[in-house]
């Protein structure tokens, strides 16, 4: 039993350290400048109705995450159920919160193949879903920039730099995914370059196995991508749902704002701030984008919340990050028991 515990600790040591550091940062702010006192006063005066809306918005976001995934899964596998998609989506959120570089997507692919999907099809689904999400985030944020440019420029000193960084990061990611999906010849050339490097390192046997395995999966991936690419209505619907998902995520920030009995800022302004925070912090290579999310929230919303900013970021981060870990772990455990290869038939 002790050996199992030590093994679990070693495998998740980085995740544990990051979570502890993230909580440590919040704790530091809470004990600094009467943060704990402000938190206690804010909790006592929380508006119950808006507080319920915070959790309702969070759960709705989880459901939409699973539903967007389900649209693509069901398109290729008509027997695939929403329950499986929701389970896979929550597993992805869990591991994105626990691993550096948001490794939730590879875990999603693994679980999808465990339930009978081809690796290429699963990879294609996750790549296209990720492309849709980042694409919607990029253009949505760009639109919000145009609508709220003067407002944020006058209230946030480093707004221009942060916005440019977020937009460029998303552009690079979108271009990379599109490259893999569209340009089969270029991905083949990149694969051969990797093989040459492996051969140069005297790893011929390993490079042969690597080439054939990856080449075969890329073939399946491109075939699956072509099948997905022929369904324009699917992309439109997925884009609309993703747009709704991002909007609801922004509304959670607004619900936090109203739960502290604060007024004066428009819903659109709060959604814009949340979209920018998520866009910029999404490329921070730490579990759950720790540090970046908290810093982004304080950067964009400090003037809105005033002396309640620390209670606000604590509540917001608890609901959107810390709560996802135990809930995701519970759903991952239950889903792993219910959805097994033995009771999955996709034929």
The full DSSP string for 218-248 is HHHHHHHHHHHHT-HHHHHHHHHHHHHHHHH
**pLDDT in the model for residue 313:** 86
Query: In terms of Cα–Cα distance, which of 142, 149, 133, 139 is closest to 269?
Result: 149
Name the percent of the chain lying above pLDDT 70: 69
Q: Which of 138-142, 287-291, 303-307 shows the lowest mean pLDDT across its residues?
A: 287-291
Q: pLDDT higher for 219 or 334?
A: 334
Alpha-carbon distances of 339 from 24, 142, 324, rounded to whole Å: 37, 40, 20
| Distance (Å, whole) CA 326 – CA 160 | 36
**pLDDT in the model for residue 4:** 42
Residue 30 has pLDDT above 90, yes or no: no
**pLDDT in the model for residue 7:** 47
Alpha-carbon distances of 142 from 113, 131, 329, rounded to whole Å: 36, 16, 35
Residue 9 has pLDDT above 60, yes or no: no
| Distance (Å, whole) CA 338 – CA 296 | 38
End-to-end CA distance of the chain: 40
**pLDDT in the model for residue 5:** 42
pLDDT tens track for 78-99: 899 999 999 999 999 988 887 7
């Amino acid at each position: 039993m002790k050996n199992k515990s030590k093994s679990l600790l070693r495998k998740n040591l980085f995740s544990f350290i990051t979570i502890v550091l993230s909580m440590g940062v919040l704790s530091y702010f809470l004990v600094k400048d009467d943060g704990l006192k402000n938190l206690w006063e804010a909790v006592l005066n929380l508006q119950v109705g808006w507080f319920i809306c915070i959790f309702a918005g969070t759960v709705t976001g989880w459901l939409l995450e699973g539903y967007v995934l389900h649209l693509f899964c069901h398109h290729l596998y008509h027997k695939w159920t929403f329950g499986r998609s929701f389970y896979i989506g929550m597993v992805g959120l869990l591991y994105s919160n626990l691993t550096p570089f948001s490794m939730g997507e590879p875990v999603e692919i693994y679980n999808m193949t465990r339930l009978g999907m081809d690796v290429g099809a699963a990879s294609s689904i996750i790549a296209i879903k990720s492309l849709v999400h980042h694409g919607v985030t990029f253009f949505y944020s760009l639109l919000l920039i145009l609508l709220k440019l003067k407002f944020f420029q006058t209230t946030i000193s480093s707004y221009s730099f942060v916005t440019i960084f977020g937009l460029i990061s998303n552009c690079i990611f979108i271009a990379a995914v599109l490259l893999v999906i569209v340009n089969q010849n270029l991905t083949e050339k990149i694969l051969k370059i990797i093989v040459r490097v492996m051969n140069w390192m005297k790893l011929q046997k390993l490079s042969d196995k690597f080439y054939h395995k990856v080449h075969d999966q890329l073939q399946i991936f491109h075939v699956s991508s072509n099948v997905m690419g022929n369904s324009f209505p699917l992309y439109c619907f997925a884009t609309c749902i993703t747009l709704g998902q991002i909007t609801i995520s922004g509304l959670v920030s607004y619900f936090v704002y109203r739960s502290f009995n604060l007024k004066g800022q428009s819903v659109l302004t709060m959604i814009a701030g949340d979209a920018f925070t998520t866009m910029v912090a999404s490329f921070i290579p730490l579990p759950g984008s720790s540090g970046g999310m908290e810093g982004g929230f304080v950067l964009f919303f400090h003037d809105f919340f005033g002396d309640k900013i620390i209670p606000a970021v604590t509540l917001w981060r608890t609901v959107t990050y810390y709560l996802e870990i135990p809930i995701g772990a519970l759903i991952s455990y239950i889903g792993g028991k219910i959805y097994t290869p033995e009771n999955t038939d996709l034929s």
